[in-house]
Amino acid sequence: MPMNDHIEHPEVACDNLILVDADFADRVALDLIVNFGRMLGRQIPNADIARWIDCLALDGGIREGNGQTQVALIHSKGKKQLDCFTPGHLEKELDGQAFKDNLGEFVINAFSEESIVSREDLMADMLRLGLAAKEVKRIILVPDEAHHDLIRHVLEQADPGKDVTLLSMLPVAGDNFRQENLGYSLMNAMGISADEFK
C-alpha cells in the first residue's frame, strides 16, 4: 500500500488513535517469524505495516468510512529500524507518512523516548491525551506487556465513554476496555493463513 509524506506532525485531533510500543511489536513479530517459520517449514516475510495497521483498526472496531486515525509508534531512543516490518525505518520511511484506504486516512508518526521520559511513560502520557481529547472516539493500544499495570491504571482513572481496545499476547485484567489477541493481526500482515495449519 503506497504511503505519501504530505502530512508531518498532526495534533491529536482525529477520530481514532492507535498507540503502539514499536520495540515490543518488533519483538513479538520476530518471535512469530521464527516460530511459524519452523512450524510451517517456510520463510515468513516481514509484516506489511500498512496491512497490520488496517488489522489493528478492524480489531479496534474501525469500519469503512472517511475518518482519520493517528498512529503513534513509540520507540526506544536508539531504535531507528523495525526489523520485522516493511517498510521499517522509523525516521526515513514511517514518521510523517500517511495512507488512505476504505477505513479512512491513517497518519503515522514515530515518537522516541527521551532520557527523562521512558517509553512506558510516553505511552501513558499519549494515552492520557487521547482520553482527554473530545475528538477522539476510539483508542487502540499495543503496549509492552511489562507496562500493562501502568496502562490499566491510566484507563481506570479516565472518564468512561471512550471505546478502548488493548491488543496483547497475554490476557489482561480490566473491565473498561476490550481485549484482542495481537498475534492474529501480525499473522495476517505476514501472510500466514489459518489454512496452513490444517
- Extract the C-alpha cell encoding 197: 495449519
pLDDT of residue 12: 57
pTM tops 0.85, yes or no: yes
Encode burial over 134-163: b for 16+ CB neighbours within 10 A, e otherwise: eebbbbbbbbbeebbebbbebbeebeeebe
According to the model, what pLDDT value does residue 18 have?
98
Widest distance between CA atoms in the chain: 49
Return the pLDDT at 168.
Answer: 96
Mean pLDDT estimate for the chain: 90
Q: What is the pLDDT of residues 167-192, one digit of tens each?
A: 999 998 888 899 999 999 999 999 99
Mean pLDDT, residues 133-151: 94
110 in Cβ contact with 91 (< 8 Å): yes
pLDDT at 6 over 50: no
Centroid of chain to Cα 111: 13
Q: Mean of the pLDDT values across residues 91-119? A: 94
| Nearest C-alpha neighbor of 123 from the set 160, 162, 72 | 72
Q: What is the pLDDT of residue 2?
A: 46
Asked if the model's pLDDT at residue 52 lies above 60, the reply is yes
123 CB-near residues (< 8 Å, 6+ apart): 19, 21, 74, 141, 143, 144, 147, 151
Mean pLDDT of 10-21: 81
CA 87, CA 100: separation in Å to the nearest integer?
16
In the chain, count of helices (H) and strands (E)? 5, 9
